[in-house]
């Protein structure tokens, strides 16, 4: 079993303070221009990213399928009347993504019906948080140039569009590793899990709203999906090391799916932080998986209906 030690990036991942400041300044500029009546706001705006060409030696495997998916999504959206910024190859860097989102915020206004952000690429878990890997991201010697998925989703929700759709089409850091789960936090941005097909299907359901006369569409846009994340019914107790290994310490991160009935399925080891001292990593992973299978949850809800949801959960070994 490979041990994955999680490290915090050397600089604050997006959204960072200068991004937020830029957004505020641009928003003020847009507001002033609107007052003068010189800005024409597009009704449909999209940023599409295919990060499939990582930097050599980054510890992140190439992912050509990401760039192919991004190209297909960009063309589909252009055909559907979107103003699209597409970033693939080396252009799908941290700074380019940041700049594209900021420019889109500049364009978007109260007349914009929908803003779509689509990211296809590698991702991995860092200290329990799902991180998106732009083209210039790295895992070695320490994770850097990453986008923390949960706060970034909240950042996207600040867009002034009536609807904000975010699609994280993720793969693990290499072909042998599973993809981390999408954020579970409730957000005003609508997170679409899966990929291009799920985005296309959602846009089809929104077609009447997007094509409605200007006087009608704003009332239609208030009825977006309501997501409630799953909640574990009891706090997980630390695992007790076996006799002779009382000094064993560490944290195992698990991936699992909480079903509509609140039971976990597909429980597997995602990473082991702080390599357990005094006991084998295999033992720690096996015990963590056994513990994860016993947990019970209040399942996630979407518009009041129970739905399955993939999570990342920590299991502590030993006590301090």
- Interval 265-291: pLDDT, tens: 999 988 877 665 656 667 788 889 999
Token code pair at residue 202: 């959602």
Proportion of the chain above pLDDT 70, given as a percent? 79
Which CATH fold topology does 17-225 show?
Answer: Rossmann fold (3.40.50)
Q: How many other C-beta atoms can be found within 10 angstroms of the C-beta atom of residue 223?
A: 9
Task: Please state the length of the chain.
Answer: 320
pLDDT tens sequence across 173-221: 899 888 898 887 767 888 888 899 999 999 998 888 888 876 565 555 5
Is residue 247 within 8 A of residue 275, CB to CB? The reply is: no
Does residue 11 have a pLDDT over 70?
Answer: no
pTM of this prediction exceeds 0.95: no
Of 110, 115, 134, whose CA–CA distance to 46 is shortest?
115
pLDDT tens sequence across 250-270: 888 899 999 999 999 999 988
Does residue 237 have a pLDDT over 60?
Answer: yes
Q: Measure Cα distances from 69 to 75, 156, 194, 196 in Å.
A: 10, 21, 12, 7
Which CATH fold topology does 231-317 show?
Answer: 3.30.1150
What residue ranges do the domains of the chain occupy?
17-225, 231-317
């Amino acid at each position: 079993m490979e041990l994955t030690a999680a490290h915090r990036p050397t600089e604050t991942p997006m959204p960072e303070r200068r991004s937020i400041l830029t957004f505020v300044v641009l928003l003020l500029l847009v507001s002033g221009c609107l007052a003068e009546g010189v800005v024409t706001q597009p009704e449909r705006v999209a940023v599409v990213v295919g990060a499939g060409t990582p930097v050599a030696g980054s510890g992140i495997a190439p992912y050509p399928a990401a760039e192919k998916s991004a190209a297909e999504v960009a063309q589909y959206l252009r055909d559907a009347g979107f103003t699209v910024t597409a970033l693939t190859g080396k252009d799908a860097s941290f700074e380019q993504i940041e700049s594209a989102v900021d420019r889109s915020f500049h364009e978007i206004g109260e007349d914009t019906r929908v803003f779509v952000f689509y990211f296809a690429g590698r991702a991995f878990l860092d200290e329990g948080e799902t991180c998106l890997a732009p083209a210039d991201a790295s895992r070695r010697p320490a994770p850097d140039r990453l986008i923390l998925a949960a706060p970034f989703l909240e950042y996207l929700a600040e867009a002034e569009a009536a609807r904000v759709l975010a699609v994280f089409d993720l793969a693990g850091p290499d072909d042998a590793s599973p993809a981390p789960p999408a954020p579970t936090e409730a957000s005003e941005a609508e997170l679409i899990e899966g990929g291009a097909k799920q985005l296309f299907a959602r846009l089809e359901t929104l077609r009447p709203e997007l094509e409605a006369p200007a006087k009608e569409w704003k009332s239609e846009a208030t009825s977006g999906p309501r997501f409630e994340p799953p909640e574990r019914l009891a706090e997980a107790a630390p695992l007790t090391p076996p006799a002779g290994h009382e000094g064993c310490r560490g944290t195992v991160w698990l991936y699992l799916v909480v079903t509509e009935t609140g039971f976990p399925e597909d429980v597997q080891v995602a990473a082991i932080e702080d390599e357990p001292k005094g006991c084998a990593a295999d033992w720690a992973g096996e015990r963590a998986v056994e513990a994860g299978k016993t947990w019970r949850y209040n399942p996630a809800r979407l518009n009041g209906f129970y739905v399955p949801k993939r999570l990342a959960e920590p299991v502590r070994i030993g006590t301090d």
